[in-house]
């Protein structure tokens, strides 16, 4: 079903890679932003996670990248799924995934979404307040609940505890309230924040969950499930590499101390970025350019790209350090200039990063490549000002086809390799 493969060499100094332009014979024929997504990478990342933490069952965080191809591959690999809304539940259940492989892990749920989960047999839900318990008791009394605990997540790129999680001091009352409402709390959960930089953040959270288990047992609950959430880094340059002993050693040691295997507690996690970040490479085109002389005679360059904050770079403003792209042009040690990277819309705040990056002087029509762009990119894109999200071209190798991942006859955005 796929056309012939063509490759373009992307060069910046000594750095290079190969990309397959979606449906084009030459990169020069391509005008719109696009991404190349390697579906086989999902199998590699799944294997890496399971090898690093064999005692933990992964429930993929659908919000990170909800592409039908992604969900289909992960379903075939046997992962569970972390869903946060009715739409995400519909997506996963529509693939034939058993409700037992789903956790509805949003602590603040609309009542209609809770009713949908109840009708379709999704039983594992999270909560962090009395108000949420009241809703669940009314709309899903047979649910199996995990109490979401607040964590110290200041070392994460995207902390979440200001919005979600109950304090340890409030847990005893919440567990008693759940019992009085006739609800079954079966465990605890936490989230150390997205893209966590310190594996030690898990140590205290796991120890706190042991306290919650003891409180739960005291309140008459059968505590049997621990959800250690997500926050695992996706690439080596985003902090400590997950597969290193600094990660798996710290988490495994904390689990062995507070939840040894003989206790029979099921441990799950909600990885998203770990699976997705290295899954996609983004290619963007310079559609306009402006040079400005700063006081003192220094030169400032402004590049206007065909993708930006409202597309694949929605989280760029929240990254502490801007990402330096690969330049699709041979440049033998050229001078570098401070460059502002703007998106294509009429919004002045539509820029890829808050800080400038240092790049050589480029021309309109040149391309920039950003590796590791699979997490929270396409799932957060919109068509503001009429600029459509980047096209995604998927590739699939024989490893996945052997797993029985289906290929539609009209899969025009899929290349078999």
Query: Dihedral through CA 317, CA 321, CA 322, CA 327, nearest 10?
Result: -160
Measured in whole angstroms, how far is the alpha carbon of residue 107 from the centre of its chain? 18
Give CA separation, 13 vs 90, 256, 296, 321, in Å.
47, 47, 29, 22
Active site residue 346: yes
**Distance (Å, whole) CA 384 – CA 347:** 10
- Give CA–CA dist 22/227, Å, rounded: 39
Reading the block at residue 307, the tokens are: 């993708």
In the set 196, 346, 382, 393, the catalytic residue is 346
- Taking alpha carbons only, the member of 223, 141, 129, 222 closest to residue 177 is 129
Handedness of CA 228, 234, 235, 237 (dihedral sign): negative
Task: Report the C-alpha gap between 275 and 231 in whole angstroms.
Answer: 11
Q: How far apart are the first and last CA of the chain?
A: 12
What are the C-alpha distances in Å from 34 to residues 23, 74, 219? 11, 23, 54
H or E element at residue 174: helix 168-180
Judged on CB neighbours under 10 Å (0-12, 13-18, 19+), 292 is exposed
Half-sphere exposure in the Cβ direction for 251 (13 Å, CA): 27
Q: Is 58 exposed, middle or buried (0-12, 13-18, 19+ CB in 10 A)?
A: buried
Write down the residue that tokens 């056309």 correspond to.
Answer: 3
- Contact between 254 and 42 under an 8 Å Cβ cutoff? The reply is no
For 331-366, letters b (16+ CB in 10 Å) and e give eeeeeebebbbbbbbeeeebbbbeebbebbbbeeee
C-alpha closest to that of 317 among 339, 343, 281: 343
The gap from C-alpha 370 to its chain's centroid, in whole angstroms, comes to 16
Catalytic residues: 346
């Amino acid at each position: 079903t796929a056309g012939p493969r063509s490759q373009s060499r992307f060069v910046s100094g000594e750095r290079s890679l190969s990309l397959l332009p979606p449906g084009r014979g030459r990169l020069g024929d391509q005008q719109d932003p696009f991404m190349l997504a390697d579906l086989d990478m999902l199998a590699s990342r799944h294997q890496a996670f399971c090898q690093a933490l064999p005692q933990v069952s992964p429930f993929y965080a659908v919000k990170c990248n909800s592409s039908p191809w992604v969900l289909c591959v992960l379903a075939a690999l046997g992962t569970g799924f972390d869903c946060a809304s009715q739409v995400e539940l519909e997506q996963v259940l529509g693939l034939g995934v058993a409700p037992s492989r789903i956790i509805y892990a949003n602590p603040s749920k609309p009542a209609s979404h809770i009713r949908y989960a109840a009708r379709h047999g999704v039983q594992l839900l999270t909560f962090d307040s009395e108000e949420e318990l009241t809703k669940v008791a009314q709309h899903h009394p047979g649910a199996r609940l995990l109490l979401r605990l607040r964590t110290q997540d200041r070392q994460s790129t995207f902390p979440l505890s200001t919005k979600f999680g109950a304090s340890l001091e409030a847990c005893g009352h919440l567990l008693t309230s759940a019992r009085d409402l006739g609800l079954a709390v079966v465990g605890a959960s936490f989230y150390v924040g997205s893209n966590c930089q310190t594996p030690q953040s898990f140590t205290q959270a796991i120890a706190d969950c042991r306290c919650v288990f003891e409180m739960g047992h005291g309140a008459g609950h059968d505590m049997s499930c621990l959800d250690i959430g997500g926050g695992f880094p996706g690439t080596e340059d985003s902090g400590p590499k997950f597969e290193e002993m600094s990660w798996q050693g710290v988490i495994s040691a904390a689990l062995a101390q507070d939840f040894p295997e003989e206790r029979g507690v099921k441990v799950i996690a909600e990885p998203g970025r770990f699976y997705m970040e290295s899954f996609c490479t983004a290619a963007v085109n310079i559609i306009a350019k402006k040079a400005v002389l700063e006081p003192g005679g220094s030169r400032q360059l402004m590049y206007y790209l065909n993708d930006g904050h409202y597309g694949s770079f929605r989280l760029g403003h929240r990254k502490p350090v801007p990402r330096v792209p690969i330049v699709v042009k041979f440049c033998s040690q050229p001078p570098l200039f401070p460059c502002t990277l703007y998106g294509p819309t009429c919004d002045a705040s539509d820029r890829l990063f808050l800080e400038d990056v240092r790049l050589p002087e480029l021309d309109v029509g040149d391309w920039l490549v950003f590796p590791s762009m699979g997490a929270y990119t396409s799932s957060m894109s919109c068509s503001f000002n009429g600029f459509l999200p980047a096209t995604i071209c998927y590739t699939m190798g024989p490893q996945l086809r052997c797993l029985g991942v289906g290929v539609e006859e009209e899969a025009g955005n899929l290349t078999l390799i």
